[in-house]
């Protein structure tokens, strides 16, 4: 039930974001004097509407987005009343049209920035100093987390009948203990613990010194056997090695909470990293199509494959059900930022396509004026329709692939 509630809340958050996107177009258009005849949340049949001034506002039956109708977006629009011709959008200066067309993406960016700042002062943002590489992890103090067992093969799985109990647990070690020596060999970090254990054989007895709650202690245990690759070659051939049955508890905090003022700087840093990650994700989209097809046809779902709104909502539901509030908010932030950037790509029918054409017209008119030729006028959108249809087709197929993958083989972050 909590999962379904989380899915519904996240889907509602997306719907609100898209509705605000369209409100950004509407409000800026009205501010410049353009005529906006309709603003609706959703698509399909109208459930409820009212008219205020010259604009009809309402809700439609399919809650998958929204739209606003600005009179005369292009010179080819044939539904403009002669009385509204002076207020047709295409007649306005290019800078005004740019603001109107980019207002949707700016709204998404604003939502993301506000959510980042709120997270920074309440939930905390991911700590950029948290160890992420193997080398950084091995420099952490050897503070341990006990495993329930030792998996004999080199596999990431839960404990099964027949697996050996954790030697560390048998030695009465506890989560949070910091190991300081093994058989008299000083241990200064987790990497040195791994090296010390690799120097022993399965079945050997390990004399362990540790610190618990500031107090030193000693214990001993018989090491179990598992299979691991060499420490200096994660892709090397696995071989039997001694195992203590522990993992690492990083002492570096995973997130940092900021004060209201310091949160602005943290928000800027997080946004910069998010922007780089979003651009890189867009660049990788084409090469992720085979992985999506593999997931649909029964293969393993790569967690790095793109997700649709369906997949994002499912992950939002998981985060909500597991009280992973930062993950819930981060999904909302990432989705808004991605939509904001994607919508500015210079492709029709995206807003970025309309902006690109407006500036192309402006540049072309300027060049023709300088060389003494007549202004060629507006771009004929009808001639661009084949390219627009190609973009829509590619986008539709990609959306269908992601939605299908999210239904038949969804990404899950909290396995049951």
Nearest-angstrom CA–CA distance, 363 and 345: 19
Identify the burial level of 326 via C-beta atoms within 10 angstroms of its C-beta, where 0-12 means exposed, 13-18 middle and 19 or more buried.
middle
Nearest-angstrom CA–CA distance, 145 and 247: 5
The neighbouring-strand residues paired with 226 are 241
Nearest-angstrom CA–CA distance, 180 and 192: 10
Nearest-angstrom CA–CA distance, 9 and 320: 9
220 closest CA partner among 157, 167, 164, 292 = 167
CB burial string 160-190: b at 16+ within 10 A, e below: eeebbebbbbebebeeebbbbbbeeeebebb
Helical ranges in 141-227 per DSSP H: 167-170, 190-198
309 closest CA partner among 407, 391, 397 = 407
User: Does residue 22 carry a catalytic annotation?
Assistant: yes
Nearest-angstrom CA–CA distance, 62 and 42: 5
In the structure encoding, which two tokens stand for residue 109, read together?
A: 């960016």
Residue 277 dihedral angles phi and psi, to the nearest 5°: -65, -35
Asked if 358 contacts 73 with a C-beta cutoff of 8 angstroms, the reply is no
Out of 22, 192, 318, 361, the active site residue is 22
305 closest CA partner among 407, 408, 393, 405 = 405
258 closest CA partner among 127, 111, 385, 62 = 127
60 closest CA partner among 33, 22, 89, 25 = 22
CA distances from 86 to 123, 313, 391 (A): 50, 43, 31
Nearest-angstrom CA–CA distance, 28 and 67: 14
Asked if 296 contacts 398 with a C-beta cutoff of 8 angstroms, the reply is no
In the structure encoding, which two tokens stand for residue 202, read together?
A: 């399965």
Catalytic residues: 22
């Amino acid at each position: 039930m909590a999962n379904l509630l989380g899915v519904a809340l996240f889907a509602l958050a997306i719907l609100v974001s898209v509705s605000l996107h369209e409100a950004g177009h509407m409000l800026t258009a009205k501010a410049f004097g353009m005529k906006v005849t309709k603003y609706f949340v959703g698509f399909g049949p109208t459930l409820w509407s009212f008219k205020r001034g010259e604009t009809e506002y309402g809700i439609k039956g399919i809650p998958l987005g929204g739209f606003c109708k600005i009179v005369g977006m292009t010179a080819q629009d044939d539904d403009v009343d002669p009385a509204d011709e002076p207020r047709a959008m295409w007649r306005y200066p290019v800078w005004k049209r740019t603001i109107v067309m980019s207002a949707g993406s700016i709204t998404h960016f604003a939502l993301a920035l506000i959510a980042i700042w709120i997270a920074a002062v309440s939930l905390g943002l991911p700590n950029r100093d948290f160890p992420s590489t193997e080398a950084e992890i091995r420099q952490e103090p050897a503070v341990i987390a006990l495993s329930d067992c030792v998996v004999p093969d080199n596999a990431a799985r839960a404990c099964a009948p027949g697996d050996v109990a954790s030697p560390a647990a048998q030695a009465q070690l506890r989560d949070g203990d910091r190991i300081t020596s093994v058989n008299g060999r000083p241990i200064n970090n987790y990497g040195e613990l791994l090296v010390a254990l690799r120097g022993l054989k399965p079945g050997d007895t390990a004399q362990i010194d540790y610190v618990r709650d500031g107090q030193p202690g000693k214990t001993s245990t018989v090491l179990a056997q598992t299979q691991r690759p060499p420490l200096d070659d994660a892709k090397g051939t696995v071989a039997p090695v001694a195992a203590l049955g522990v993992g690492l508890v990083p002492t570096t905090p995973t997130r940092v909470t900021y004060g209201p003022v310091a949160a602005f700087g943290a928000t800027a840093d997080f946004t910069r990293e998010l922007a780089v990650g979003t651009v890189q994700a867009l660049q990788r989209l084409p090469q992720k199509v085979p992985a999506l097809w593999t997931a649909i046809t029964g293969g393993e779902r790569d967690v790095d494959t793109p997700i649709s709104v369906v997949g994002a909502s499912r992950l939002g539901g998981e985060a909500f059900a597991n009280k992973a509030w930062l993950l819930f908010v981060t999904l909302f932030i990432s989705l808004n930022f991605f939509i904001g950037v994607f919508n500015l790509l210079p492709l029709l029918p995206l807003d970025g396509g309309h902006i690109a054409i407006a500036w192309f017209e402006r540049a072309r008119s300027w060049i023709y004026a300088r060389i003494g030729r007549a202004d060629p006028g507006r771009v004929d959108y009808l001639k661009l329709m084949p390219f627009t249809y190609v973009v829509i087709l590619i986008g539709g197929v990609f959306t269908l692939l992601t939605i299908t993958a999210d239904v038949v083989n969804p990404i899950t972050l909290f396995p049951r």
